[in-house]
Homo-oligomer: A and B are copies of this chain.
Amino acid sequence: VVSLDPDAAGGLGTVRIVGTGLLGTSIALGLRSSGVRVLLHDPSPTALALARDVGGGEPDPGGVPVDLVVVGAPPDVTADVVARELADHPEATVTDVASVKSGIRTAVARSGADVTRYVGGHPMAGRERSGPVAARADLFLGRPWVVCPGTGNERGVGVVRRLAAALGATPVVMAADEHDQAVALVSHVPQVAASLVAARLVKAADPAVALAGQGLRDVTRIADSDPALWAQILSANPGPVGSALRDLRDDLTGVIEALEALQQSNEVGARAALARVVSDGRAGRERIPGKHGEPSTPFAVVTTLLPDRPGQLARLFDVLGEAGINVEEFGLEHAPGQKVGLAEISVLPAARVALEEALTAKGWQVV
């Protein structure tokens, strides 16, 4: 089974992690599981102690030569921290994990630091929870890890590729501006759109929001995000995000004009314009690769009705346990206003028939 890569970790030497939030601590945990010596630093003594307590390594005592520094600071201070680390550790490669890359490189270069030892990085992973306690050694498994080369830092690029590989991620080498345009499209524009759609609900009537279904929930899921963090991310990438949002606004204006034309008269051209927008969206959607870059999961999903009472899940899993069925994924969904849920049980395709037979034999309704 593929997982972390201790061979890649072997050549990393001693690694200093500056900023023990979710990403920094997850990197620490992953490296430690491959036997790498990890030294931790964070301006917050609490965050530092938590990262140590979850097994991230020892607080950096100072004075130990390090081979690699990973900066996991908030985006708006990353450049300053990178410049300081380059100065403090004159032999080390320094990388970061911030989600926008061009501006940081420019600021580091402008600071006078030795930019040939800086290699920008962006692991495309995260969780809804933040902080060291949410950290996981496997957070980066199978995720892309963008590595942004500069000039004269080929050696450092190799080190950061090795870091990514050691954590089970897939290194993707890409110029910083190319990266920033890419994340504008796949991350920053979707965030703005989700927030703007969700913002429409602030003044909506109660009976209106009561009609919300899964579509709205999916479109707005990431609108739960942290405003302060996103203000930093968006403002670090104003060119690419602004450009993509202007394009989006042009298309939106086309939709609004088509709707206005339809309010006047039942124009066929206006309808065609609306269909084209949905059709373009479908074409764009089709370009998104499956999970982990593979085609979508090959699990078989069996759904059964579940009364909303204590003990029903135990009854259900007794049946599965007795039948020797290994559950790969499990989801429980409750319909609004109903005291019954839908349990979605994912198993390897070969186990599907056995699962369905085991359920129906015990009186569970497969739907």
Contact = CB atoms under 8 A, between A and B. Distances in A.
A136 B252 CA distance: 36
B215 A191 contact: yes
Given A136-B335, A217-B288, A331-B330, A314 B310 contact: no
Given A259-B235, A293-B336, A251 B199 contact: yes
Interface string A260-272: 1011001000111
A313 B197 CA distance: 38
A362 B267 CA distance: 65
Contacts of A194: 193, 215, 219, 281
Given A141-B338, A201-B287, 5 more contacts: A191-B215, A196-B255, A199-B277, A310-B324, A329-B334
B278 A209 contact: no
B336 A142 contact: yes
Contact of A340 (B1, B252, B262, B263): B1
Interface in A296-313: 305, 307-313
A308 B281 contact: no
B335 A142 contact: yes
Interface in A218-256: 218-228, 230-232, 234-235, 238-239, 241-242, 244-249, 251-253, 255-256
Nearest to A129: B301
Contact of A249 (B202, B221, B252): B252
A249 B242 contact: no
A109 interface: no
Interface stretch (A11-19, A86-94, A149-157, A178-186): A178-186
A61 interface: no
A50 interface: no
Nearest to A270: B235
A62 interface: no
A327 B208 CA distance: 28
B314 A197 contact: no
Interface stretch (A35-43, A77-85, A315-323): A315-323
A307 B220 contact: no
Interface of A: 1-3, 124-125, 136, 138, 141-144, 146, 168, 170, 172, 174, 178, 181-183, 185-187, 189-202, 204-205, 207-213, 215-228, 230-232, 234-235, 238-239, 241-242, 244-249, 251-253, 255-256, 258-260, 262-263, 266, 270-272, 274-285, 287-289, 291-294, 305, 307-318, 320-322, 324-340, 365, 367
Contacts of A138: 305, 335-338, 367
Contacts of A235: 258-259, 262, 266, 270-271, 274
10 contacts: A2-B340, A138-B305, A168-B338, A186-B209, A218-B218, A235-B274, A242-B263, A293-B337, A308-B326, A314-B317
Given A231-B271, A326-B308, A262 B238 contact: yes
A106 to B, nearest CB: 13
Please list the 8 inter-chain residue pairs (A to B) with the smallest Cβ-Cβ separation, ordered nearest first.
A142-B335, A195-B281, A293-B336, A314-B317, A182-B208, A311-B321, A201-B284, A142-B338
A294 B253 CA distance: 36
Contact of A221 (B218, B270, B327, B330): B218
